[in-house]
């Protein structure tokens, strides 16, 4: 029986066939490819490979739609976004299963991500973006307005294909833009279905999605008719995107890689904090931009904290995300799997000590990797310097605040960081000196649609979320009015 939500919407989507969405129509292509279920290595259904004509058609439709959508009232845009949220909620079970099939994450984590899409859209619709009034006298009024940019191209990675997609659609359309979404070729399925639902909520051309191959991203960043690129992905690709958009001076937001440090102070409750740190390091099998990727433990508790982390990690189950009680699903794709495996080759080569894991079972089907904690490797080792994007984590010992702050900041990346302590003064003192877009105290990866989020250094440019994220989907226009007397 179809699920019915509290708002009366019913599950309507068929999750077996996948087409591009152009101008609110389901559009097929001549060429197709398919994703791979990373837990079973089975082929998933065919998806389109958009060509240049498909992109031109989508851009043409988005431009035409923008001329009308920009003038639609914020109340009407809110209503469309809230209807979209209702329809996602009604189809949540289908999205959750599809997300696990295409991405690999366990059902509870997929449920959380799909539920997050509904929460995000509802919360974003409540964010008000007011004009900024600098002067309002009998002689003069000076005010800055936030006007839509035009057509937004959204380029999304494979680790959170639902939430990162919705986190771009919501702000773009609420602020009066139209949007073309390009999912990763590894995870195109949920994005096409979101756009199919959006076609029931928005006028033609407002929300479109194109599945393509490796050519589509570069075409989108180069094409004249797109005015802004909102990109989430690796720092390497982000630099290519920045170089490409320079030719047309597109507006740009970049949400890129992270190498988040967690600094553990001597006063923490060891078993409790060790469990939380493992969770934030290993969620989605470590494939999270904001995962904890380096753990600095005070030397006075190093051994006890390491042992508590090992105990907690050993109890977590690895397997197909559709099975019950699984915490570690597979790595999403073969390329990433090989990249993570190369770090395992370094274990013997570099003589790293391993506290848990350290080997990969090659006789099983699926891109599974045993969770691994590397015990006090050198600060210069690859595992401390690079973003692994897999379940392998270095832990390191520290003695003085000055030293640990310097080591935590010794990265080109600066996305997130956390400090764990029962002494709030100490925690804030350390936290204030960390170079990262978000610094948490006694938690990590606690994100919200109403709080701005972005990276320092090579972790990004601009922010998403909150009023600042909504303004990122706008041009600023200052009206400087001298009143006639
Ligand atoms: P990626 O950079 O390989 O790909 C991201 C997207 O860019 C995909 O859709 C891809 O098809 C597209 N793309 C690839 N080359 C392109 C080009 N030259 N021009 C335009 N588009 C192009 O990243 P990934 O491997 O899919 O994702 C993992 C990375 O994303 C990690 O580094 C992770 O930290 C980062 N990430 C960051 C955030 C954040 O919010 N800061 C969130 C999630 C993931």
Please tell me the predicted confidence (pLDDT) of residue 10: 77
CA pseudo-torsion sign 185, 15, 208, 10: negative
Mutate to test the pocket of ligand 1, among 237, 260, 414 (most ligand atoms within 8 A of CB): 237
Q: Mean per-residue pLDDT for 275-298?
A: 98
* Residues catalogued as catalytic: 255
Instruction: Give residue 480 CA to ligand 1 midpoint distance, Å.
Output: 40
Q: What is the CA radius of gyration of the chain?
A: 23
Give residue 120 CA to ligand 1 midpoint distance, Å.
21
pLDDT classification of 12: cutoffs 50, 70, 90:
confident
Q: What spacing in Å lies between the alpha carbon of 330 and ligand 1's midpoint?
A: 19
Give burial (CB, 10 Å; 0-12/13-18/19+) of 165: buried
Per the prediction, the chain carries an average pLDDT of 97
Is the pLDDT at 128 greater than 90? The verdict is yes
Q: How far is the CA of 144 from the centre of ligand 1 (A)?
A: 33
Give the C-alpha separation, 38 to 101, whole Å.
8
Average pLDDT for residues 420-439, to the nearest whole number? 98
Q: What is the pLDDT of residue 2?
A: 45
- Taking the CA of residue 257 as reference, the ligand 1 atom at the shortest distance is 34
Given a cut of 70, whether residue 3 has pLDDT beyond it is no
pLDDT given at position 484: 86
How far, in Å, CA of 217 to CA of 374, rounded?
A: 36
Q: Stretch 316-343: mean pLDDT, rounded? A: 97
Going by CA atoms, what residue is nearest to atom 6 of ligand 1?
Answer: 157
Whose Cα sits closest to atom 42 in ligand 1?
289
Q: Which of 157, 162, 336, 412 to mutate to test the pocket of ligand 1 (most atoms within 8 A of CB)?
A: 157
pLDDT at 4 over 70: no
CA 238 to ligand 1 centroid distance, Å: 7
Q: Which ligand 1 atom is the nearest neighbour of the CA of 185?
A: 11
Confidence tier at 9 by pLDDT (50, 70, 90): confident
Atom of ligand 1 nearest to the CA of 229: 20
Residue 7, pLDDT above cutoff 80: no
Q: What is the mean pLDDT of residues 225-233?
A: 98
**What are 232-235's contacts with CB under 8 Å, separation 24+?**
232/155, 232/156, 232/157, 232/164, 232/168, 232/256, 232/289, 233/155, 233/156, 233/157, 233/184, 234/157, 235/412, 235/413, 235/458, 235/459
Stretch 75-85: mean pLDDT: 98
Tens of pLDDT, residues 30-39: 999 999 999 9
The residue whose CA has the least distance to atom 9 of ligand 1 is: 184
Mean pLDDT along residues 13-41: 97
Indicate whether 384 pLDDT > 70. Answer: yes
Report d(CA 436, CA 416) in Å as an integer.
Answer: 5
pTM more than 0.85: yes
Q: What is the mean pLDDT of residues 194-199?
A: 98
Write down the pLDDT at residue 362: 86
Q: Report the pLDDT averaged over residues 425-454.
A: 98
CA of 233 to the centre of ligand 1 (A): 2
- Report whether pLDDT(6) > 60: no
Could you give the residue ranges of the DSSP H alpha helices within 315-381? 334-349
Sign of CA dihedral 112, 333, 182, 12: negative
Ligand 1, CB within 6 Å, residue ranges: 155-160, 164, 182, 184-185, 217-218, 221, 232-234, 237, 240-241, 255-258, 289, 387, 389, 415, 455, 460
- Checking if the pLDDT of 295 tops 80, the result is yes
CA-CA distance, 471 to 129, in Å (whole number)?
A: 7
| Domains parsed from the chain with CATH numbers | 20-256+459-478 (3.40.605.10), 260-448 (3.40.309.10)
Residue 5 has what pLDDT? 56
- CA-proximal residue: ligand 1, atom 18 (nearest): 218
């Amino acid at each position: 029986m179809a699920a019915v939500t509290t708002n009366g919407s019913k599950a309507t989507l068929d999750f077996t066939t996948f087409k591009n969405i152009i101008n609110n129509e389901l559009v097929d292509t001549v060429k197709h490819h398919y994703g791979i279920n990373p837990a079973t290595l089975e082929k998933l259904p065919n998806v389109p490979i958009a060509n240049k004509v498909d992109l031109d058609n989508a851009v043409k439709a988005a431009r035409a739609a923008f001329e009308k959508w920009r003038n639609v009232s914020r109340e009407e845009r809110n209503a469309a976004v809230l209807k979209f949220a209702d329809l996602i909620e009604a189809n949540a079970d289908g999205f959750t299963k599809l997300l696990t099939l295409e991405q690999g994450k366990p059902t509870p984590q997929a449920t959380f991500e799909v539920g997050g899409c509904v929460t995000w859209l509802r919360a974003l619709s409540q964010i008000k973006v007011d004009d900024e009034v600098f002067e309002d006298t009998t002689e003069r009024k000076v005010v800055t307005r936030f006007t839509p940019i035009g057509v937004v191209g959204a380029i999304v990675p494979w680790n959170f294909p639902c939430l990162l997609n919705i986190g771009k659609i919501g702000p773009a359309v609420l602020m009066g833009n139209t949007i073309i979404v390009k999912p990763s070729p590894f995870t195109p399925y949920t994005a096409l279905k979101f756009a199919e639902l959006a076609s029931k909520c928005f006028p033609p051309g407002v929300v479109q999605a194109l599945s393509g191959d490796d050519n589509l991203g570069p075409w989108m960043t180069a094409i004249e008719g797109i005015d802004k690129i909102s990109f989430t992905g690796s720092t390497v690709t982000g630099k290519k995107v920045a170089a490409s958009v320079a030719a047309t001076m597109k507006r740009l937001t970049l949400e890129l890689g992270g190498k988040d440090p967690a600094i553990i102070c001597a006063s923490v409750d060891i078993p409790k904090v060790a469990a939380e740190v493992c969770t934030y390091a290993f969620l989605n099998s470590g494939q999270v931009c904001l995962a904890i990727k380096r753990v600095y433990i005070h030397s006075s508790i190093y051994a006890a904290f390491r042992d508590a982390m090992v105990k907690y990690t050993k109890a977590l189950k690895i397997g197909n995300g559709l099975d019950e009680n699984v915490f570690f699903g597979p790595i999403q794709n073969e390329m990433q799997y090989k990249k993570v495996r190369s770090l395992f080759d370094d274990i013997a080569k570099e003589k790293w000590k391993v506290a848990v894991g350290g080997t990969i079972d090659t006789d099983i089907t699926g891109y599974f990797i045993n969770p691994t904690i590397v015990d006090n490797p050198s600060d210069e080792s690859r595992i401390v310097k690079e973003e692994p994007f897999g379940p392998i984590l270095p832990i390191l010992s520290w003695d003085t605040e000055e030293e640990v702050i310097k080591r935590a900041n010794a990265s080109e990346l600066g996305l997130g960081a956390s400090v764990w302590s029962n002494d709030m003064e100490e925690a804030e003192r350390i936290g204030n000196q960390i170079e990262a877009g978000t610094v948490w105290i006694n938690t990590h990866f606690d994100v919200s649609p109403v709080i701005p989020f972005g990276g320092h250094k090579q972790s990004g440019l601009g922010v998403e979320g909150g009023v600042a994220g909504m303004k990122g989907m706008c041009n600023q226009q200052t009206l400087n009015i001298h009143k006639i007397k």
